[in-house]
A and B are shown apart, each in its own frame.
Chain A
Amino acid sequence: MQTKNATGVGTAINRVEGYLKVTGQATYASEFQIENKVYGQGINSTIAKGEITSIDTSEAEKLKGVLKIITYKNAEKLKGFDEERPVVETDSIAPVLQSNKVHYYGEYVGFVVAETFEQAQYAASLVKFTYKADPTAHFNFGTKKSKAYKPSEESDHKRGDVKKGFSEADETIEATYNTPIEHQHPMELHATIASWKDGKVLAYASQQIVEDAVIAISGTFLIPKKDIRVVANYVGGGFGSKLNVERHLIMAVMASKIIGRPVQATVTRTQMFTNTGMRQANIQTVKLGAKKSGRLTALTHEILSHTSTTQEFQEPCGSMSKMMYKVANVNISERLIPMNLQQPFSMRAPGEATGSFALESAMDELAYKLGMDPIEFRIKNDTQDDLHEEKPFSSRLLVECLNIGAKKFGWDKRKEKPRSNKKGNWLIGYGVSAAARAAPYKETHAKLKLELKDKTVTATLQMDATDIGTGSYTILAQTVSEYLDIPVEQVVVQLGDSDFPVTPGSGGSWGAASYCNGAQSACENALKTLKKNRNIPDDEDVAIAELLKKNQITSYESEGLAIPDSAFEKHSVFSFGANFTEVWVDKDTGMYKIKRMVHAGSAGKILNPKTAYGQVIGGLTMGAGMVIAEQTRVEPNFGNFITRSFSDYHVPVNLDIGNIDVVFLPEEDKVANKMGIKGIGELGITSVAASIANAIFNATGKRMRDLPITPEKLVMADVEVGVEE
């Protein structure tokens, strides 16, 4: 595909919605000017398990402006779960305030509606709940391991004979890696302005997948989908947290139905810990065996995670271990313990982000033990076939990523011996890791409207897709620009409205590929039909304005549909990458600096290198956050999150990050889809934590297997046996 114009696919244009964002005019969920709206505020439980025995709303009700206090006693009846612990999906129902049972500390137990935000906030603090706590509450992860269960058949993957594999190995390592509870924490607090009028629901809401929000509302209130409209024109970050409908939205809809006015509900940052999803903690044990030559002979990866007591989610931490390396003997098992904690769900690269920390740290440990360069070790075990799916990869340029990245980074300057690169009080280290992330692609619909006025065509593209910061508006405008051969200035992209054609929404790294192929199809259909109508051959170049003129029309509408084909199904489709990090660790204080990072990635066609670069540095930054300080801690006696604000949960700040170079490999994966696009947003975070941890080992000789790697841990950690101080 040749780029024909300056704003087509592949060009580094500025974001088309940039002006709106930098001038404060992009409208996020709680910013629509809605007449007569009131404010809702959720109330959270203060026990981990048990029952509400009484509720006193009298003080709160006396307050000026308070309109309604909803608890299980007077809530609308909602659809409940049909089975025990159903699997969470992005369109799952979200029943709330349906009984006096409490399942975790922080669960919603009430919702206050008042005329103003201030009134609602204060009233919520005055509603008094009395509880009968159940002492069997379980919230300390790592204990009661015997309660772990196997969630599904896919939880185990076995190939070959690991016992035999390990017996053939010259060197083995076995280590346990711990990752804590993490929270997505998009900057925009989850918010909605929801109204129920004449049986119809309209919700401005921060959602990643508009269609699934409609399905969830429909399923929860048992009302037809056609009576629900969800609008999410701008979403202030998602990272998985806004994939599904969260319960403040359900409570706001319910409240609007009861009081007959639109209800605005913005969760607090503290509620972003307890009520809008999280990544659960994992305990992962990896065992690797290899020949002296560096060839892997066996791999086992055991994963223990937790889910809630009401729904089930298994973070697939074994996903990368299954397909990454050429190893014949593999055992992977994923187990779950139900706990009295919030339901975990997807956070950026669920499975890969955490699983890769274990796998890629273990690879580094074994390379060190073998006395082999960790890049060489990985290259030795490269495979062009997915041994788990038993399919060839559509394309896999991991070796190229490692080699090109290493050159860019200056890997040859790395000192092999740990703790040998010193400068003043600093210990300097280099680390590497490899990354793979599935590149899915899903059915997508689009509508294209063409208007001809004064010889100029304006193309309006409508999809229910969302732009959560990923650049959807821009790459879609570029796609239309490319295929209609008009500049982006003549393209209007309208997204995030359930009145528009259905897409899979933003999540799972399927957005760019699905959206753009859908838009491309709408363009292609328009051109085809307009040409066919005038008996113009398909391959003849006719400007779109000319084509409309020839058809003697000034407006035209077409639809697009993109859908995976059989070639996609026959292959295993992944994006690949390699991460390189240089860290400087203070030898005495345990503080460290991530001086610089290099990421080399092959993620199919790069639609816009500027926004793709943003995705990669964003992923690297969040990956750095996993190492620097991100963790949510559970209070061991009460079961609440003791980490409850942005001053406890430390996401990276500007000074935490060093320079980042990104090398894109030129790749168009036409097996993946027509436009050759693969996902990049989740590839960016995958294995970043391992590359930093490996660099810290190279710098200090300390093997840090528990995330995050804080100064307090580094100060207390011992240098590995055999490393010279």
Chain B
Amino acid sequence: MLKVNNSKQSLTLDSRTSLLDALREYLSLTGTKKGCDHGQCGACTVIMDGKRQLSCLTLAATCEGAEVTTVEGLATKGKMHPMQAAFVKHDGFQCGYCTPGQICSSVALLDEAKNGEASYLTEDVRKISKKLKLSEEEIRERLSGNICRCGAYNNIVQAFKEVHSGDDEMPTWEFATEAQMKSAKTN
């Protein structure tokens, strides 16, 4: 018995079946992606009992009684989770294949920050408080378990920041002005 996105699913599976393959091949929940199948990319990230985990290195058999949330379970009644909306707004993806994992990871990270969980970049783990406001570097470290080969990292950080702290200031694009063009013509 698997509980996925608040719905109970009864499945009889091969003992070898990973949670990832159970979702994709047996429950038609293909939002969770297979990027390496070896715990080295993060594309298969789901939220289990509130914690982000890798579904490719989780046997479905061990999920008895656990609550699994996949990317399909984040939106409610067609309304995107704020993190999903922020990813769209800030273009936090290109091909879209790592995106469900990035989003599940980001949603779980919101709670980790609230709970005051530390990271390797924490200045002094002896002193850490709840409700952390994560710096850009901290966000990058904590989202480094999700590889994006298209290289949308900066936009992902921006999307996370907006939901996490309301702050989405980061370098982005601009167009050179006519005056700039004129003065740049020669050395």
A binding-site residues for B, Cβ under 8 Å? 14-15, 17-28, 30-31, 33, 116-119, 122, 185-189, 234-239, 266, 268-269, 376, 379-380, 399-400, 403-404, 407, 468-471, 596, 600, 606, 609-622, 645-647, 651-655, 657, 659-666
Contacts and interface: CB of A to CB of B under 8 A. Distances in A.
A238 B146 CA distance: 18
Contacts of A23: 31, 71-72, 74-75, 80, 84
Contacts of B151: 617-622, 652, 657
Contacts of A614: 91, 94, 150, 152, 155
Contacts of A234: 95-96
Nearest to A649: B40
Interface of B: 14, 16-17, 21, 24-25, 28-38, 40-41, 43, 70-72, 74-75, 80, 84-85, 87-89, 91, 93-100, 103, 136-137, 139-141, 143-157, 170-176, 178, 180-181, 183-187
Contacts of A117: 21, 25
Given A26-B96, A404-B180, A618 B152 contact: yes
Given A18-B88, A619-B151, A469 B96 contact: yes
Contacts of A657: 140, 151, 153-154
Centre residue among A24, A188, A610, A622 by max chain B CB count within 10 A: A24
Given A26-B96, A187-B43, A651-B147, A621 B172 contact: no
A19 B21 CA distance: 24
B187 to A, nearest CB: 5
B164 to A, nearest CB: 14
Contacts of A186: 95, 97, 149
A26 B35 CA distance: 15
Nearest to A17: B96
Contacts of B178: 666
Contacts of A187: 33, 35, 41, 43, 95, 97-98, 147-150
10 contacts: A14-B89, A19-B88, A116-B14, A118-B14, A269-B41, A376-B187, A606-B175, A613-B155, A614-B152, A646-B36
A609 B175 CA distance: 9
A653 B157 CA distance: 12
Nearest to B39: A647
Contacts of B34: 30, 189, 266
Q: What are the 6 A-B residue pairs with the smallest beta carbon separation, nearest first? A: A24-B31, A621-B151, A469-B95, A236-B97, A469-B94, A21-B96
A662 B172 contact: yes
A187 B36 CA distance: 8
B95 A235 contact: yes
Contact of B93 (A22, A651, A659, A660): A22
Given A117-B25, A403-B187, A237 B97 contact: yes
Contact of B153 (A17, A188, A621): A621
B10 to A, nearest CB: 18
Contact of B176 (A19, A188, A620, A666): A666
Nearest to B28: A33
A188 B33 contact: yes
Nearest to B75: A23
Overall SS of chain A's interface: mixed
Contact of B171 (A116, A651, A661): A661
Centre residue among B33, B37, B40, B173 by max chain A CB count within 10 A: B173
A659 B171 CA distance: 6
A21 B99 contact: yes
Contacts of A600: 176
Centre residue among A19, A22, A33, A609 by max chain B CB count within 10 A: A22
A645 B37 CA distance: 10
Contact of A654 (B16, B149, B157): B157
A600 B70 CA distance: 39
Given A28-B33, A239-B149, A468-B95, 12 more contacts: A14-B91, A15-B91, A116-B25, A118-B21, A236-B33, A236-B95, A269-B37, A269-B38, A469-B94, A600-B176, A654-B146, A655-B137
Contact of B95 (A30, A188, A617, A621): A188
Contacts of A20: 96
Contact of A651 (B89, B96, B149): B149
B181 A665 contact: yes
Nearest to A116: B14
A381 to B, nearest CB: 12
A122 B148 CA distance: 29
Contacts of A28: 30, 33, 97
Contacts of A269: 35-38, 40-41
Given A22-B87, A28-B97, A653 B147 contact: yes
B175 A379 contact: no
A523 B83 CA distance: 36
Contacts of A185: 149
Nearest to B87: A22
A19 B180 contact: no
Contact of B175 (A19, A122, A659, A666): A666
Contacts of B29: 24
B181 A666 contact: yes
Contacts of A239: 149
Contact of A618 (B36, B145, B150): B150
Nearest to A400: B184
Centre residue among B17, B141, B148 by max chain A CB count within 10 A: B148
Contacts of A615: 94
A618 B41 contact: no
Contacts of B172: 613, 661-662
Given A189-B34, A655-B137, A646 B41 contact: yes
A493 to B, nearest CB: 15
Contacts of B153: 617, 621, 652, 654, 657
A596 B34 CA distance: 31
Given A27-B30, A400-B184, A659-B154, A22 B176 contact: no
Contacts of A471: 94
A18 B183 CA distance: 39
Nearest to A23: B75
A119 B13 CA distance: 12
Contacts of B150: 187, 237, 469, 614, 618
Nearest to B31: A24
A654 B91 CA distance: 15
Centre residue among A15, A188, A611, A615 by max chain B CB count within 10 A: A188
Contacts of B30: 24, 27-28, 30-31
A621 B75 CA distance: 30
A690 to B, nearest CB: 18
A237 B149 contact: yes
